[in-house]
Structure 1
Amino acid sequence: MARTIVRCVLDVELSDPAKYQVTPRKICVVRYDEEIGNSACDVYDGYLHPQFSTAEPTGAAPTGPTTDPYDRSKDLNANRQEACGTVSRT
């Protein structure tokens, strides 16, 4: 069994309209970050493209480090590289 693993971090805030020019009772996105494992690296069409071991590999070969997609002990921005890596487990 193989799956695509997506980890997202979404930081939002509710700003005081008396101090800031914001819409009252609306949240503002402060930061959005994601990490996707087991998806094609060179396809940027807004969809996930899972890679399965029985399928022929398409696109560029992984050049980045091997990461554990379930390890939540590190921040998503820590040691981030633009290179496409591989996941150690699915």
Structure 2
Amino acid sequence: MKSKVPMFLVKLCKPIYDRARKTDHLHVNDDCISCGLCAKNCPVSAIEIKDGKPVWIKEQCVMCLKCLHCCPKFAIQYDNKTKKHRQYVHPKFKPSK
């Protein structure tokens, strides 16, 4: 597949993108029921479950926030920015069991 962005521009912007991915801002609150749906539904396998809670692997995470939106208890938050928002769940989405 041919890239539509010149390679020099990709190489120039990648360090900026990597610094902008702030997985350390993702956290899980006490509403977490340790179901593991966040890890099972992560499209890039960037979540490990440790002690029943999700831990994000920064090098793999693409910040799609699917984990946040597939959490049945809305226990995953991005800083305090997502608390005021509601979860988006696509009508055809069926979480992995």
Task: Tell me the TM-score range normalised by the shorter chain.
Answer: under 0.3
Structure holding more strand per residue: 1
TM (normalized to structure 2)? 0.25
Structure holding more helix per residue: 2
